[in-house]
């Protein structure tokens, strides 16, 4: 049997190119980028990202990424319409700890993390949770509302992280990485959306059966209808509009250069 290569297939989802990987393969691929002494970036694409498919700065940011993976049932469904065969939902809330653990194994030591995002204190609380659940050391935890990013980036460099985790929400976190690309350390940068809120216990996961069925969004909507109702309603429209094009793409995978 031919061995599946993590370097091979991507599939188009709207204007985005997403790796046709299972969640386990996403973990493997991202962890391989740690400790290379060069900048690398991994982005999650979910229904909120699909809603910003006409934002050229955002599309270009994802196009330059080393890894783009499916964090949402809508992305997986659209990718499979276009011919994806291996892709499964790889929610950052599910794979994040595994990525960090695997990174520590690859490095042969405790992985050093810099966390950026959320309101004052959120990254710090998320870091405390991560240090309990993963083999890591949080060397920097900063909120996401800095007016002076130059000072923030100096702190990031000084902390010497193996992974910088940015939780500013999409599309802002992706465009922020691109805007500050040359000033970020030569390390792995991962964006995480609202993961810090889950780690800190300020938001809660859906029951496992809802996660398995790909309907966790219903549970999340019930927790924050004012914040999420517009995103999910627009996401449904985005998914329906993209579906016909996805069927036409079937079999036309894009090779990862």
Does residue 167 lie within any of the structural domains?
yes
Model pLDDT, residue 3: 41
Does residue 228 lie within any of the structural domains?
no
> Is cis: bond before 84, omega within 30 of 0?
no
What whole-number distance in Å separates Cα of residue 3 and Cα of residue 55?
Answer: 37
Q: Is the pTM of this model over 0.85?
A: yes
Q: Based on the structure, what is the number of domains in the chain?
A: 1
Does residue 169 lie within any of the structural domains?
yes
Q: Which domain holds residue 131?
A: 17-200
User: Quick check: 256 and 10 in contact, CB under 8 A?
Assistant: yes
**190 alpha carbon, distance to own chain's centre:** 6
CATH number, domain of 91, equals: 3.40.50
pLDDT of the chain along its 257 residues, tens only? Answer: 234 455 568 999 999 999 999 999 999 999 999 999 899 999 999 988 999 999 999 999 999 999 999 998 899 999 999 999 999 999 999 999 999 999 999 999 999 999 999 999 999 999 999 999 998 999 999 999 988 889 999 999 999 999 999 999 999 999 999 999 999 999 999 999 889 999 998 877 767 777 776 777 676 667 667 666 777 788 889 999 999 999 988 855 554 43
Does residue 43 lie within any of the structural domains?
yes
Model pLDDT, residue 255: 45
Q: Which of 30, 80, 90 is nearest to 253 (CA)?
A: 80
Does residue 184 lie within any of the structural domains?
yes
Cβ atoms within 10 Å of 180's Cβ, excluding its own: 16
Model pLDDT, residue 202: 84
User: Quick check: 16 and 49 in contact, CB under 8 A?
Assistant: yes
Does residue 234 lie within any of the structural domains?
no
User: Quick check: 162 and 17 in contact, CB under 8 A?
Assistant: no
Q: Within 13 A of 10's CA, how many CA atoms are on the CB side? A: 20
Does residue 36 lie within any of the structural domains?
yes
Model pLDDT, residue 20: 96
Does residue 98 lie within any of the structural domains?
yes
């Amino acid at each position: 049997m031919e061995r599946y290569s993590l370097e091979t297939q991507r599939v188009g989802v709207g204007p985005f190119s997403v790796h046709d990987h299972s969640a386990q393969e996403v973990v493997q691929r991202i962890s391989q980028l740690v400790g290379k002494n060069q900048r690398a970036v991994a982005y999650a694409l979910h229904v909120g990202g699909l809603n910003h498919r006409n934002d050229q700065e955002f599309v270009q940011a994802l196009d330059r990424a080393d890894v783009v993976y499916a964090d949402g049932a809508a992305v997986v469904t659209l990718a499979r319409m276009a011919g994806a065969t291996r892709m499964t939902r790889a929610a950052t809330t599910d794979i994040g700890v595994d990525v960090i653990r695997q990174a520590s194994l690859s490095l042969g030591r405790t992985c050093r993390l810099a966390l950026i995002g959320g309101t004052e204190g959120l990254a710090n609380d998320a870091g405390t949770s991560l240090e309990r659940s993963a083999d890591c050391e949080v060397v920097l935890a900063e909120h996401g509302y800095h007016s002076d990013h130059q000072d923030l980036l100096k702190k990031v460099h000084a902390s010497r992280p193996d992974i910088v985790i940015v939780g500013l929400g999409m599309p802002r976190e992706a465009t922020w990485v691109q805007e500050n690309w040359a000033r970020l350390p030569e390390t792995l940068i991962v964006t995480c959306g609202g993961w810090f809120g889950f780690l800190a216990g300020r938001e809660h996961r859906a029951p496992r059966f809802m996660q398995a069925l790909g309907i966790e969004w219903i549970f999340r909507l019930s927790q924050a209808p004012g914040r999420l109702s517009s995103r999910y309603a627009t996401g449904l429209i985005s998914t329906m509009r993209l579906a016909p094009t996805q069927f036409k793409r079937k079999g036309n995978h894009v090779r990862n250069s």
